[in-house]
Chains A and B, each alone.
Chain A
């Protein structure tokens, strides 16, 4: 493999970058020890997978697995429509300057790092001796939380917070692709509908949505494919041991067990497990889409 995949030519570069690292998947079947490398480490078959699903880590693994699906599903339900709605609204703004300013304002959070975004979020919801954030104060005022108890210690607040932070950060930037799709629809279609007496909602329903459909479907297939790959940075920055029950996802579990505890094999097994399910989900979503809409990735 190493002989074939050398970065000597552009063709080989693809092989080198895309496929050579896959050799690392072997770690999932080994008791990986960095000093012996991937090949030299002891082969353990599927022991790492057995340990995950039925060993000492099983409770944490299944908890992370469930949370990954739930958070992804919530993000899909609540997060996916927001950029579409934003794109529709942008398309309706007649004044170019106002539209550009609005768009830029919504894109900005995307360019801030996760650390900054989560830092701001934590500051807003923090409640302790030192200080109390605005949102925490508000929730205390209306009696939803007790003074001195931080929201970040309450497991039922994690998912809404995670999703809201995500919407705030990414919905503006994600609206670009939908806005581009809308812009690609021929104006003559809208004019024809107007001639036929159609109103604004009918424009959206009968022209904009069908015009955006291929983009929407592609985006949703891609989204389903990444359902199990929740970015661990935001979770890692927001969660703590008390809210693992709702916050711990496969990627953070993998980071704790693989990197912090040094169980590289089990960490790689989590990752491989994750990828196989994501692969199945993409194929499933693509098949369904092809059958019902004739739009698909392949």
Chain B
């Protein structure tokens, strides 16, 4: 009710302003309304202690390691809003100016603008966080919880019990998984997290469409004839042939069954070819598709709603891509890269192919540090040390030996954006070409990047004991957020800080943080998403201005110019992303949403199989006691980059056998497991299990 009233007043104020043509600024609009709303809200909401009658000053320290992403406007050129308000460097960004008036507060940004959040927390802990009222930023949730249990941050559970933050409390009661994930070991909540668009697919496979049709549907194509060496031996071979009960019939979309007619494996067929080159490999794949499937054109095995390719067929296609550079690039390049990740520090995305090797779990959430999954007994398991992952590393090594993976990505010193290079330089002076990546739909299908990229269904595979289409990558609760300092705040400030945090869980606050100022949205109009839901619609000013100042990157414009969408405690909505997506991207969304593709969620619902917890995402962070932290730091060394390097050495060097001196390459699973054991895996698992048990206890 409170939200509706506030929303009504908001609309009335905008309408009145428009009718009178008085051109009041956004700040004025909000300011006039604040007092009116204040009275109404306090009287209306029984038990709601939020009181905005007095002006309260609040200091914020929100660090993201990037001065453009703070609440202060740091652009060189001023921004003129549609109502004529001019925002210049050093001022609060418009969203924050609006919010401070809306909440009858005075906001000060005391953030060292370029500092990383982890460094900020470390520094501020020395003064008991007395330098500001609200602290926030990226990847600090674990620290916020820890310092909360130490009494440095306000216990939000207590605040909610006494009538503060009613909207956040309501949100948590509707989203118990979020509540569990952010509850510290002592049973209390100390921070409000950044929650991505829960129950939505995170990232997926995106490819160049014309390369598939050009190779597979053009019988008379002038295929390349350079020799090709094979290393990968196939997954659906010997006793694991894909036929009959074992994936012989799959259903990419309700009502569409795709039958594989034989038990052939394309990798075996390609490996048996006497001459292996672009022509023979591709013709073998085309013939295999014709022999095994009833498609009108061979490319349908990979493209569109009837796609039914498995991991071997995907690798077979990658071989054809790799072996036909001249054909695919029209002679512009003699080498192409079938699979790449966006940048070197995303290299662990390669491991996500594990899902398609019989559902091996590698990441428990959309984060490389989420190396846990929940087994059938409800216990968490450290995925990186498991035999399944080791086997996948070996498969990837064979792919690497065939040149299927863009190898610069292994080197963390390389900072290039490979997606821009391999998809965005086709017409440049020195073009580079890549085929497929695993990334976000909106940015990967952007018109300015490459007009040929499309979303495809994931490979079909036996996942959790059942053949299905599955992406082990749902949108997650992020380890980002904000909390209220005890030492730095008076009671009034604590109460107002609660109101600020709670505001982003009201309808109007959420709209403000997700989409921007009311003047940036079309009044009375909605945007219809591919999911059938309606979302606020941006005005043309937003698109035009982002085109002028942020190269059309709407996401960057909203964050760095308007101040929305920065990683503080709020629930992100997908409506913004839909409007930022190209037509092809939109079709990609529709393809996935209309298919039978399952994906990981916190609720963890999916095709029943071996492990009832398979589809459940793990919480972003675990709340450790100081003793547990001490145990981890004193007796284990698994949270370091060199363990990932150790894993990637297998990919890089095992199949090629060219490991340089000093690089340790595990020759067997025993050697691999021994490295993890040496680094204290047993204690590591035991400690995190204890922390997870406490989280579960709280949920029960």
Residues of A participating in the B interface, judged by any CB pair closer than 8 Å: 31, 33-35, 37, 51, 55-57, 60, 122, 128-130, 146, 148-150, 152-156, 240-246, 256, 261-263, 266
Q: Is B296 an interface residue, CB under 8 A from the partner?
A: no
Q: Is B416 an interface residue, CB under 8 A from the partner?
A: yes
Binds A, one of B79-87, B388-396, B405-413, B467-475: B405-413
CA distance A176 to B248 in the complex (A): 79
Given A35-B150, A129-B408, A240-B413, does the pair A154, B660 have CB atoms closer than 8 Å?
A: yes
Q: What is the 8 Å Cβ interface bit string for chain B, positions 628-666, against chain A (1 contact, 0 not)?
A: 001001111101111011100100000000101111000
Given A56-B635, A156-B662, does the pair A35, B147 have CB atoms closer than 8 Å?
A: yes
By the criterion CB–CB under 8 Å, are B645 and A241 in contact? yes
Closest 6 pairs between A and B when the two form their complex, measured CB to CB = A155-B662, A241-B642, A241-B645, A154-B660, A35-B125, A245-B662
By the criterion CB–CB under 8 Å, are B413 and A130 in contact? no
By the criterion CB–CB under 8 Å, are B663 and A55 in contact? no
Chain B, residue nearest A60 (CB): B637
CA distance A177 to B660 in the complex (A): 41
By the criterion CB–CB under 8 Å, are A130 and B416 in contact? yes
By the criterion CB–CB under 8 Å, are B122 and A129 in contact? no
Query: Could you pull out 8 A-B pairs where Cβ atoms are within 8 angstroms?
Result: A56-B635, A56-B636, A122-B413, A146-B658, A153-B660, A155-B661, A241-B644, A242-B649
Chain A, residue nearest B644 (CB): A241
Candidates B123, B147, B633, B649; contact of A263 at CB < 8 Å: B633
By the criterion CB–CB under 8 Å, are B413 and A35 in contact? no
Query: In the complex, which residues of chain B have a beta carbon less than 8 angstroms from the beta carbon of A262?
Result: 122, 633
By the criterion CB–CB under 8 Å, are B661 and A154 in contact? yes
Q: Is B572 an interface residue, CB under 8 A from the partner?
A: no
By the criterion CB–CB under 8 Å, are A241 and B661 in contact? no
Q: Is B203 an interface residue, CB under 8 A from the partner?
A: no
CA distance A57 to B638 in the complex (A): 11
Query: In the complex, which residues of chain A have a beta carbon less than 8 angstroms from the beta carbon of B645?
Result: 240-242
Q: Is B152 an interface residue, CB under 8 A from the partner?
A: yes
By the criterion CB–CB under 8 Å, are B663 and A155 in contact? yes
CA distance A266 to B630 in the complex (A): 12
Candidates B126, B411, B646; contact of A34 at CB < 8 Å: B126
Query: In the complex, which residues of chain B have a beta carbon less than 8 angstroms from the beta carbon of A246?
Result: 662
**Of B335, B633, B645, which is in contact with the most chain A CB atoms at under 10 Å from its CB?**
B633
The residues in B between 536 and 589 inclusive whose CB is less than 8 angstroms from any CB of A are none
CA distance A243 to B641 in the complex (A): 13
> Would you call the interface of chain B mostly helix, strand, loop, or mixed?
loop
CA distance A51 to B636 in the complex (A): 11
CA distance A242 to B646 in the complex (A): 8
For the complex formed, measure the closest distance between the CB of A215 and the CB atoms of chain B, giving whole angstroms: 39
CA distance A129 to B122 in the complex (A): 39
Q: Is B49 an interface residue, CB under 8 A from the partner?
A: no
Chain A, residue nearest B152 (CB): A35
CA distance A244 to B646 in the complex (A): 12
By the criterion CB–CB under 8 Å, are B661 and A128 in contact? no
By the criterion CB–CB under 8 Å, are B407 and A154 in contact? no
Q: Is B128 an interface residue, CB under 8 A from the partner?
A: yes
Q: What is the 8 Å Cβ interface bit string for chain B, positions 397-439, against chain A (1 contact, 0 not)?
A: 0000000001110011110100001000000000010000000
For the complex formed, measure the closest distance between the CB of B16 and the CB atoms of chain A, giving whole angstroms: 50
Chain B, residue nearest A48 (CB): B634
By the criterion CB–CB under 8 Å, are B661 and A56 in contact? no
Query: In the complex, which residues of chain B have a beta carbon less than 8 angstroms from the beta carbon of A37?
Result: 126
**Of B152, B413, B658, which is in contact with the most chain A CB atoms at under 10 Å from its CB?**
B413
Query: In the complex, which residues of chain A have a beta carbon less than 8 angstroms from the beta carbon of B187?
Result: none
Candidates A60, A129, A154, A240; contact of B406 at CB < 8 Å: A129
Candidates A57, A150, A241; contact of B641 at CB < 8 Å: A241
Query: In the complex, which residues of chain A have a beta carbon less than 8 angstroms from the beta carbon of B641?
Result: 241
By the criterion CB–CB under 8 Å, are A242 and B128 in contact? no
By the criterion CB–CB under 8 Å, are A55 and B642 in contact? no
Query: In the complex, which residues of chain A have a beta carbon less than 8 angstroms from the beta carbon of B637?
Result: 56-57, 60
For the complex formed, measure the closest distance between the CB of A35 and the CB atoms of chain B, giving whole angstroms: 4
Query: In the complex, which residues of chain B have a beta carbon less than 8 angstroms from the beta carbon of A266?
Result: 633
For the complex formed, measure the closest distance between the CB of A242 and the CB atoms of chain B, giving whole angstroms: 5
CA distance A122 to B337 in the complex (A): 24
By the criterion CB–CB under 8 Å, are A56 and B680 in contact? yes
Q: What is the 8 Å Cβ interface bit string for chain B, positions 608-636, against chain A (1 contact, 0 not)?
A: 00000000000000000010001001111
For the complex formed, measure the closest distance between the CB of B667 and the CB atoms of chain A, giving whole angstroms: 17
For the complex formed, measure the closest distance between the CB of A42 and the CB atoms of chain B, giving whole angstroms: 9
Query: In the complex, which residues of chain A have a beta carbon less than 8 angstroms from the beta carbon of B660?
Result: 149, 153-156, 242
For the complex formed, measure the closest distance between the CB of A140 and the CB atoms of chain B, giving whole angstroms: 13
Q: Is B241 an interface residue, CB under 8 A from the partner?
A: no
Chain A, residue nearest B143 (CB): A262
Query: In the complex, which residues of chain B have a beta carbon less than 8 angstroms from the beta carbon of A130?
Result: 408, 414, 416, 421, 432
Query: In the complex, which residues of chain B have a beta carbon less than 8 angstroms from the beta carbon of A35?
Result: 125-126, 128, 147, 150, 152
> 9 other contacts beyond A155-B661, A241-B644, with CB at 8 A cut-off?
A34-B122, A55-B635, A56-B680, A129-B407, A130-B416, A150-B411, A240-B645, A262-B633, A266-B633
